Amino acid sequence: MMPPPGAIWAALPVPAFLVAPENGVERILGCNPAAELFMSATSASLEGEPALDRLTIDAPMEEALSRTRANRAPIFINDADVCTGERPPVLCNLQIAPLAEAGDTLLLLIAPRDIAGRLGRTQATKSAARSAIGMAEMLAHEIKNPLAGIAGAAQLLSMGLAPADRELADLIVEETRRIVKLLEQVEQFGDQRPPDRRAVNLHDVLERARRSAIVGFGAHMRILDQYDPSLPLTLGDADQLLQVFLNLLKNASEAQPAGGTIRIRTFFEGGLHLRRKGGPVSLPLHVEVIDDGPGLPAEIADEIFEPFVSGRENGTGLGLALVSKIIAAHEGWIEVDQRPGQTAFRISLPVAPPETQVEAQAEAPPDTKE
Ligand SMILES: Nc1ncnc2c1ncn2[C@@H]1O[C@H](COP(=O)(O)OP(=O)(O)OP(=O)(O)O)[C@@H](O)[C@H]1O
Ligand SMILES: [Mg+2]
């Protein structure tokens, strides 16, 4: 057992584990009393046990642990199901942190969401945000029509006005447009439509996103691609995935001054699995949207996927919430990798099963002639 980290360790109300790799297997080196209670097992009986067998966590833990070691920076994973033996899974927020001088040993904190709530990141706030969305959606729908009327009337008015007054009328038009846009985002977020998943070439979707970025919000950016041309098809809803990449590109543009660089990278890399009820899901297709901006504002860094969390003056905070909702519906995974001077959002997705790939080929229009 590691030297016990002291009184705080014992008093910590959150289950805490020390984890280190041994011959490629993550093992439990020790745990605190809260963890013993959580696991219904003694610390002595847990020591040396494979951590990810005793704790079945619905998140790519192997990867998260090795990345925490590589970057020596903590990683937060919210809303993961944690299973310990026979009990039904518990929804938890996880934190993985390197220990200052303990080499490969990591601290793994598993806060069941009820504890997480008591410790400040309140469940109430979150469910309030969720039910606020239902309300907002309804309001959005109701407000849009009269707004269109206001904008139309202002536009008509402005035609007959002197230049100084016209400026004011134009302001009304512009601002109403902004509100309509915001309302559309709220409506879109509330749209519960499940994805219509087919075999999709991610590069087609990325190119569509890149083109609309270049002519729109990303006009002042350099958007480079670094595609792996042999990337297999994924199983996805092309329109919803387009929305995902647009939102990420938009954030990356907003994080940097004009002239900044955004890179879109795709690659194939096995090893990332999600543990799902129907068995593990492999996510070997990765898309990264990388920018050279200053990174996430520290005070919201672990909440950016929650609705209405924004670090920008005019942000609605719905962009990433929508991204995470869509990716979850695709059984995919999203992660942020921050290092000095570089922020990367990585989306990981499954490969389309062979039968859907054949279907896609049969449907594709013939593009080559003899
Ligand atoms: N690439 C990035 N670099 C730095 N900060 C980012 C990046 N992407 C997101 N963020 C931060 O995360 C916050 C939440 O992003 P999100 O897309 O959910 O909302 P938003 O961009 O503020 O508003 P919306 O997308 O609805 O217009 C942003 O306000 C910003 O502070
Ligand atoms: Mg955004």
pLDDT at residue number 146: 82
pLDDT at residue number 281: 86
Atom 25 of ligand 1, nearest CA residue:
319
pLDDT of residue 289 exceeding 60, the answer is yes
Residues of the chain with pLDDT > 90, as a percent, come to: 45
| Mean pLDDT of the region 354-366 | 65
Lowest mean pLDDT among 85-89, 157-161, 196-200, 294-298: 85-89
pLDDT of residue 126 exceeding 70, the answer is no
Residue 348 CA from chain centroid, whole number: 10
pLDDT at residue number 3: 47
pLDDT of residue 131 exceeding 80, the answer is no
Of 221, 250, 310, the residue with max ligand 1 atoms within 8 A of its CB, to mutate for a pocket test, comes to: 310
pLDDT of residue 305 exceeding 80, the answer is yes
Q: Six-digit token pair at 6?
A: 């002291």
Give the whole-angstrom CA distance, residue 224 versus residue 234.
22
Query: What separation in Å is there between the alpha carbon of 236 and the centre of ligand 2?
Result: 22
Lowest mean pLDDT among 19-33, 88-102, 254-268: 88-102
| Mean pLDDT of the region 273-278 | 76
Residues of the chain with pLDDT > 70, as a percent, come to: 88
Atom 17 of ligand 1, nearest CA residue:
319
pLDDT at residue number 290: 98
Q: How confident is the model over 212-256, as pLDDT tens digits? A: 999 999 999 999 999 999 999 999 999 999 999 999 999 999 999
pLDDT of residue 119 exceeding 60, the answer is no
pLDDT of residue 198 exceeding 90, the answer is yes
Atom 30 of ligand 1, nearest CA residue:
311
Q: Quick check: helix, strand or coil at residue 364?
A: coil
pLDDT of residue 370 exceeding 90, the answer is no
CATH T-level topology, domain 7-118: Beta-Lactamase (3.30.450)
pLDDT at residue number 122: 46
**Contact (CB, 8 A) for 289 and 249:** yes
pLDDT of residue 125 exceeding 60, the answer is no
Domain layout of the chain by residue ranges: 7-118, 123-190, 198-358
**Contact (CB, 8 A) for 281 and 338:** no
Atom 21 of ligand 1, nearest CA residue:
315
pLDDT of residue 361 exceeding 70, the answer is no
Contacts of 106 (CB under 8 A, 6+ apart): 18, 19, 20, 65, 68, 69, 96, 97, 98, 99
| Mean pLDDT of the region 24-32 | 93
Contacts of 82 (CB under 8 A, 6+ apart): 55, 56, 57, 58, 89, 90, 91, 92, 94, 110, 112
Residue type, 326: I
Cα dihedral 141→143→149→155 (10° resolution): -110
pLDDT of residue 321 exceeding 60, the answer is yes
Query: What separation in Å is there between the alpha carbon of 251 and the centre of ligand 2?
Result: 5
Query: What separation in Å is there between the alpha carbon of 275 and the centre of ligand 2?
Result: 29
* pTM for this prediction: 0.64
pLDDT of residue 151 exceeding 90, the answer is no
Q: Six-digit token pair at 112?
A: 């069941």
Residue 276: pLDDT band by 50, 70, 90 thresholds?
Answer: confident
**Contact (CB, 8 A) for 272 and 282:** yes
For ligand 1, which residues put their CB under 6 angstroms from it? 185, 247, 251-252, 255, 291, 293, 295-297, 304, 309-312, 315-321, 343
pLDDT at residue number 30: 92
| Mean pLDDT of the region 296-309 | 90
Under CATH, to which class is 198-358 assigned? alpha beta
